[in-house]
Amino acid sequence: MKVLSENGQGIAKLYSRCFTARKKHVEEKVRRIIDDVRMSGDEALIKYTRRFDKAKLTAKELRVQENEISGAFQNITSDFVNDLKIIINNVSSFYKKQTQKPCRIRHTEGVVVKENILPLETVGIYIPSGTAPLVSTVYMTVIPAKMAGVKRIVIATPPNKDGQVNPYILAVANLLKVNEIYKIGGAQAIAALAFGTKTIPKVDKIIGPGNMFVTEAKRQLFGYVDIDMLAGPTELVIIANRHSNPDFIVADMEAQSEHVGGLSILVTTSKEILRQVRKKVAKGFAIYAKNIDEAITIVNNLAPEHLQILTNNPGAVAKKIRNAGAIFLGPYSPTALGDYAAGPSHVLPTLGTARFFSGLCLSDFMKKSHIIAYSKRALENLRGPIQKVATIEGLPKHYESVNIRFQ
Provide the annotated active-site residues: 305-306
Phi-psi region of 206 (alpha: psi -120 to 50; beta: other; left: phi over 0): beta
Q: Bridge partners of 2?
A: 285
Whether the CB-CB separation of 307 and 32 falls below 8 Å is answered with no
Contact predicate 338/304, CB 8 Å: no
The answer to whether 59 and 257 have CB atoms below 8 angstroms apart is no
- What is d(CA 402, CA 222) in angstroms, rounded to the nearest whole number? 36
Task: Decide: 240 and 249 in contact? Cβ < 8 Å.
Answer: yes
Instruction: Evaluate whether 255 touches 335 at the Cβ level (below 8 Å).
Output: yes
Angle between helices 396-403 and 383-392 (to 10 degrees): 160
User: Shortest CA distance to 254 belongs to which of 291, 280, 292, 218?
Assistant: 280
Q: Residue 332 contacts by C-beta under 8 Å, 6 or more apart in sequence?
A: none
> Residue-wise over 161-194: b if at least 16 C-beta within 10 A, else e?
eebbbbbbbbbbbbbbebebbbbbbbbbbbbbbb
| Alpha carbon distance 157, 140 (integer Å) | 15
Non-local CB neighbours of 380 within 8 Å, separated by 6+ positions: 406
Phi/psi of residue 172, nearest 5 degrees = -65, -45
